[in-house]
Amino acid sequence: MFGQESLLPGISNQLALGGIVIAIALYTLYHISTATDIPYIKGIPEIPGALPVTGHLLQLGDDHATICESWWRKYRTSVFQIRLGNTRAVVVNSFDDAKRMLIGHQSAVIDRPTLYTFHGIISSTKGFTIGSSPWDESCKNKRKAAGQALGRPKLKDYFDMFDLESYCIVRDLVRDSNNGATEISVRPYIQRYALNTTLTLCYGIRMDHVYDSMLREILEVGSAISLLRSASENYQDYIPILRYLPNNEKNRRSRELRDRRDKYLNALLDQVREMIKNGTNKPCISAAILKDQETKLTGVEVSSICLSLVSGGFETIPGTLTSCIGSLSTPEGQIFQEKAYKDIKRFYPDVRDAWRNSFQDEKIPYVNAIIKEAARYYTVSAMSLPRKTVSEVIWDGAKIPAKTMILINAQAANHDVDHFGLDAATFNPEQWLTSDGTIDPASEKVSSGIQHFSFGAGSRACSGQLIASRLLYTALVRLICSYRIVASEEQPPNTDYVDYNQFKSALVAIPRDFKVKLIPRDGMDNASEIGTLERCLEEARMRTEDYYKEEQGVSI
Ligand code: HEM
């Protein structure tokens, strides 16, 4: 008896101890699995339902912008915090809050977060693109150099290039569609347009064939890297333990893409060096920097600037312009096309003048309205590029600490009914126009400074927006003057502002494929105009001939 009595308290003590150890272990496990870089921010609501380890990642799925927009509406708070694995992020959804965060706190949100896969593996050799660089002296220099190359005073230096590249779109559409007899997918022509523009700008190099192998390699690698930057495709950035899994496929793929990208970037720079040696180089950013011994930029910074410009435009412009053409080809869109054509003729009764001026100014209001609306409606970079605070942000009394990730839901802000009205989910260029068909500078939507958030805003806004607008304008004027664009019946465009995008997890939208029928406008209204397109093309060919003859391709 004595033995048993003395044993029982011993067992229960052990059990109690065991219980305590398990409780501590569970608590520690829970604590570790829910810990974040930045602790919970008091005063900013957190979306319920976060899980240990993954946080909100699983709930967010592939389409972060749409899910965050639905949380804004469900929980009636435009600004909230979420957990991406071990990273705390503040998400901003409404138009007014996005403006307040990006403009009102622009010095505080000037930084960008660094991610394990993109920064640690993919960018380990050629440096960070401007859009992914944390804010430091090097980023400042790179942003300044890009700002100079892409600023308004520089635009006139690129007129020949705009002329040539937009001529090539129409030239090849005429050829490949048998002047409208065959339905055609326009995206490849616009991809070449965007890529050739930035390649010329950076390296003085272009490719004439839509399916050039180098061109397709740049597009393929760039798109694959864009996927690896997205949170939903890359959990290891937010759940560090995944990085140590054996046979890590993400790391292998990242290294492979990095090597493929290095190969073409080196080939491009080598070609520029060779052209400088032979005296055949064209004026371009890399030649200017390579020749200028005084420059403060390092070799990696030069590569990084060029990489930023090439990757800045090659998906955003095709995403916006292709989807815009999709909307214009629908029965409602055809009415917008006719009005745009009429407006073009109001300024340039002779279509040849419209072609000649299309790259020199942007004065046709209806075309400008279409461009604004395409950028707003199809927010190709739905969650913009992530920001990070460098100093504390006081937000309605709450303190968002330095080093917090800030995510701007540009798609939600661009479709905010409180700002754009109840038809925010409709493609309507006319919302930017007054009743007399001009863009009203005094209207709230235009005068508020920010018209939409597709180019971001504030201290790290898109450096390429001026050139992007000009590229969209030139191509649209020439296309609308040449053809009535009509959606294919077999393969029509998807014009839903969310569902048009086939890869919702990618950083930049890739529109679903569609085809259009191109109906030549030549002589449609006036028999005397028969042959106008041919004359416009011939003039453009002659104007760009010299530029064209000297064109330099490159192979890898
Ligand atoms: C329709 C076309 C384009 C769209 C929708 C677009 C969109 C964006 C967005 C959303 C950002 C992030 C802004 C922010 O954080 O506030 C950005 C940054 C940037 N974009 Fe664009 N972009 C376009 C075209 C271009 C082009 C053509 C270039 C270069 C030739 C370019 C170069 C850049 C650069 C260098 C940055 C980084 C700015 C920084 O971090 O300081 N973009 N762009």
Q: Which of 236-240, 250-254, 277-281 has the lowest mean pLDDT?
A: 277-281
Give dist(CA 17, CA 25) in Å, integer: 12
Phi, psi of 89 (to 5 degrees): -135, 145
Residue whose CB lies within 8 A of the most ligand 1 atoms, among 137, 383, 455, 469, for a mutation test: 455
| HSE-CB for 161 with a 13 A CA cutoff | 28
| 412 or 16, greater pLDDT | 412
* Predicted local distance difference test score (pLDDT) of residue 312: 87
> Strand 405-408 and strand 387-388: pairing?
antiparallel
Q: Look up the ipTM and state it.
A: 0.99
pTM of the prediction? 0.92
Q: Which of 37-51, 288-302, 376-390 has the lowest mean pLDDT?
A: 288-302
Ligand 1 proximity of 158 Cβ (cutoff 6 Å):
no
How many CB atoms neighbour CB 23 within 10 A?
10
- Categorize the per-residue pLDDT at 440 as very low, low, confident or very high, splitting at 50, 70 and 90: low
Ligand 1 proximity of 138 Cβ (cutoff 6 Å):
no
- Ligand 1 centre distance from Cα of residue 189 (Å): 21
Enumerate long-range contacts of 148-154, CB under 8 Å, 24 or more apart. 149/201, 149/285, 149/305, 149/309, 150/309, 150/463, 150/464, 150/466, 150/467, 151/466, 152/466
For residues 91-118, give the mean pLDDT: 96
* Predicted local distance difference test score (pLDDT) of residue 215: 87
**pLDDT at residue 367 tops 50:** yes
**pLDDT at residue 383 tops 50:** yes
Instruction: Record the tokens describing residue 422, joined without a space.
Output: 């109840």
Q: Which fold has domain 56-545?
A: Cytochrome p450 (1.10.630)
Domain residue limits, the chain: 56-545
* Predicted local distance difference test score (pLDDT) of residue 294: 54
**pLDDT at residue 553 tops 60:** no
- Mean pLDDT across the chain: 89
| 216 or 232, greater pLDDT | 216
**pLDDT at residue 226 tops 90:** no
Instruction: Record the tokens describing residue 103, joined without a space.
Output: 């403009």
| 22 or 232, greater pLDDT | 22
pLDDT tens by residue, 306-343: 888 888 888 899 999 999 999 999 999 999 999 999 99
Residue whose CB lies within 8 A of the most ligand 1 atoms, among 370, 462, 497, for a mutation test: 462
Residues of the chain with pLDDT > 70, as a percent, come to 92
b/e per residue, 81-115, with b = 16+ CB within 10 A? bbbbbbbbbbbbbbbebbbebbeebeebbbbbbeb
Ligand 1 proximity of 482 Cβ (cutoff 6 Å):
no
- Categorize the per-residue pLDDT at 273 as very low, low, confident or very high, splitting at 50, 70 and 90: confident
| 93 or 272, greater pLDDT | 93
* Predicted local distance difference test score (pLDDT) of residue 2: 45
